[in-house]
Amino acid sequence: MHCVVQSRPVPAGPWVHGDPGLDALQGALGVLGAKWSLAVLARLTDGTQRFNELSRAIDGVSRRMLSATLRQLERDGLVLRHVYARVPARVEYELSDSGEALLAALTPLLDWGKSHQIEIAEARERFDRLQLWRAAGQEMQAQTGTRQPRVPGVY
């Protein structure tokens, strides 16, 4: 069995190489690249929260990582930080208008992820099996000193 890969043209839309808009998109994706960013933003959709509330609500995040993530999201203008002069000091976080707009823009991507979750898992499983098959073939070649014939379409 061999695979034939066919390419389909993507509608032009905004995807033009060299377009400054792509740099803006890359910047937006960079904001979300941090492991805990989406978890923090999603948690803040419930409203203003204190650091400890966020820490308890986001399973697995360390205090250090939560602090760094909140600082970065504040720097990017997605989260607002309010400090109240009390003893002890009270600090609260909330989504900014930009943060809310970003989450609204990500809703179609969230829907896409939900509808393609199984397809992605299956593709990863196929890929991993193929990698194991290739590694086994290379190991066998190394042991026997022979070369396996190439399968057309599989590299």
- The mean of the pLDDT values for the chain is 87
CATH number of 31-144: 1.10.10.10
Number of Cβ within 10 Å of residue 64's Cβ equals 8
More confident call, 33 vs 102: 102
Domain ranges, ordered by start, for the chain = 31-144
Distance between CA atoms of residues 34 and 57, nearest Å: 18
More confident call, 31 vs 40: 40
Can you give the pLDDT at residue 154? 61
Can you give the pLDDT at residue 32? 84
Read off the pLDDT band of 27 (50, 70, 90).
confident
Average pLDDT over residues 6-34: 77
Distance between CA atoms of residues 56 and 7, nearest Å: 47
The pair of three-digit structure tokens given for residue 133, joined into one six-digit string: 């098959």
The pair of three-digit structure tokens given for residue 22, joined into one six-digit string: 């792509």
User: Is pLDDT at 59 greater than 90 in this prediction?
Assistant: yes
